[in-house]
Amino acid sequence: MKKSTVLLCLITAICSIFSTYSVAKSKVQFEELKGELPVRKTEYMIRVPDNWNGVLINDFDYIKAADSMRNMYLLENGYALSGTKRRKGRFKNYDPAHEIHDFITIFDIFDAKFGKPKTTIQMGCSGGGTVTLGMAEIHPDRIDGAIAMCASTSHWLANTHLDGMFVLKALIAPELPIADLGAYTPTQLDMLGKKWVKAIDDAQKTPEGQARIALAITIGQWPAWGGKGKAPVLKPDPTDIKTLQESMYQSIVRLVPMRGTGGTTMLELAAPGQLKSNVGIDYKESFNNGAILYKNAVEALYKNSPVSLDDDLAKINAFERIAADPEAIKWWSAPGRTHIGKPKVPLLRMNTAGDGLVYASLIQGYEDLVIQNGYSDFFRTAYVNTWGHCTFSFAELMVSIEVLLERINTGEWPNTSSEALNKRGKSITPQSKVNFFNYTGVQKYNRAWVPSPKDFLGE
């Protein structure tokens, strides 16, 4: 029950409500501070329990889940929590660099009222994972560690999505657009989506169409386990070609341009101009970099079709390319809007295997950059054998926090093998699902990109 309410005006000139709360079914007492941040009016919330242990966990989507089992458990165990609510208009005015600035403002508010935390962890899923990666790279002065879940790098994701759609356009529906869709109205996107779904449905009825759908998934490095269905969608057996191809088809149908695939449209609306490009991409090489079992399925499907895999790869490579606008690339080159594989605090990156929105293959590209740049000691990965986007269990989330804190406090990573993570999860809460596993993924991620000097200049 609320015990008291006083109006505070902070050094940031924000008027917020400061209260002491006890949430139903929880005995924890905590102080709450909430309001709007200056400039963009992003809503924020801070909760500090009476038994604060000195650790602050900042979550991009905190307000929506403030009373969840996870967050109440953390409060009860002494963790302070803070974060934001996704602001209205974000779809048409997306900027992860500004969202990072919101976090810095929250930290300033927290420090002014409660004092500087002993340890600050940044975490988030989806768009929250995107800004978490950015925080780990550019703000080691404000956080001590980070947990990025189902996180995208916007430019990478846009081009990875483009690759799969380019295969479909070249081989199945050359008349349908796949880029420059930012100006489309929702109704126009719905109409376009219906045309794409019909084209895919028609292709699925033929042996060559089935082979080409599988080729698009493999070249695009999309998961076959990401399609529509009542959760949880069953994971396809990658050695059963018929089952795997059917699941690929279901994933493709979900990801063609339409209102429901608004993530890529949101990216196109963010910057001035078109950010997607496949100029200079060798799609035969892209296919060779794909997941081995997916490639095996593609080759088998082509053998049972009237068309040739080599001929289709040549046709794709000869198809008219899509070029990005220099101003869009310049915009996305700015720190906080992209990632370059240089985390400067301990960073744990997690993904579900069946994520049809932010593909797990992106982690492999980031990890390759981290190794190349010499930042491996700061970085670990974990994969969960689950369908869906950000569908982590309570125990899996608790494991991620425990592992990161151990790395921060000791300077050494604990055992992060799937077996060790599952054992740790069961020790935290035996009744919760824990499903970390050894993810094989693609042979090499195709679309890692680090801005060049010319990109920064918009040339």
Paired residues of 121 in beta bridges: 57, 145
The gap from C-alpha 384 to its chain's centroid, in whole angstroms, comes to 14
Going by pLDDT thresholds of 50, 70 and 90, the confidence category of residue 253 is: confident
Q: Domain extents for the chain?
A: 5-153+337-454, 155-331
- pTM of the full predicted structure? 0.92
pLDDT at 447: 97
**Residue 20 pLDDT > 70:** no
Which structure tokens are listed for 403? 């592992």
Specify whether domain 5-153+337-454 bears CATH 3.40.50.1820.
yes
**Residue 138 pLDDT > 50:** yes
pLDDT at 24: 46
Quickly count: other Cβ atoms within 10 Å of residue 88's Cβ: 11
**Residue 125 pLDDT > 70:** yes
**Residue 12 pLDDT > 70:** no
pLDDT at 115: 97
**Residue 10 pLDDT > 50:** no
Q: What is the pLDDT of residues 270-281, one digit of tens each?
A: 888 889 999 999
For residues 360 and 358, give the distance between their C-alpha atoms in angstroms, rounded to a whole number: 7
**Residue 19 pLDDT > 80:** no
Going by pLDDT thresholds of 50, 70 and 90, the confidence category of residue 268 is: confident
**Residue 21 pLDDT > 80:** no
Of the listed ranges 178-187, 254-263, 407-416, the least confidently predicted one is: 254-263
**Residue 11 pLDDT > 50:** no
How much helix, strand and coil, in percent to the nearest 5, is found in the chain? 45, 15, 40
Q: What is the pLDDT of residues 34-87, one digit of tens each?
A: 999 988 899 999 999 999 999 999 999 999 999 999 999 999 999 999 999 998
Paired residues of 56 in beta bridges: 80, 120
pLDDT at 232: 60
pLDDT at 15: 37
Q: What is the pLDDT of residues 203-233, one digit of tens each?
A: 999 999 999 999 999 999 999 987 665 556 7
- What is the rounded end-to-end Cα distance, in angstroms, of the chain? 59
**Residue 17 pLDDT > 80:** no
Q: What is the pLDDT of residues 374-386, one digit of tens each?
A: 999 999 999 999 9
pLDDT at 263: 53
Q: What are phi and psi of 145, to 5 degrees?
A: -175, 165
For residues 58 and 67, give the distance between their C-alpha atoms in angstroms, rounded to a whole number: 15
For residues 164 and 154, give the distance between their C-alpha atoms in angstroms, rounded to a whole number: 16
**Residue 16 pLDDT > 70:** no
Residue type, 60: F
Of residues 1 and 414, the one with the higher pLDDT is 414
**Residue 260 pLDDT > 70:** no
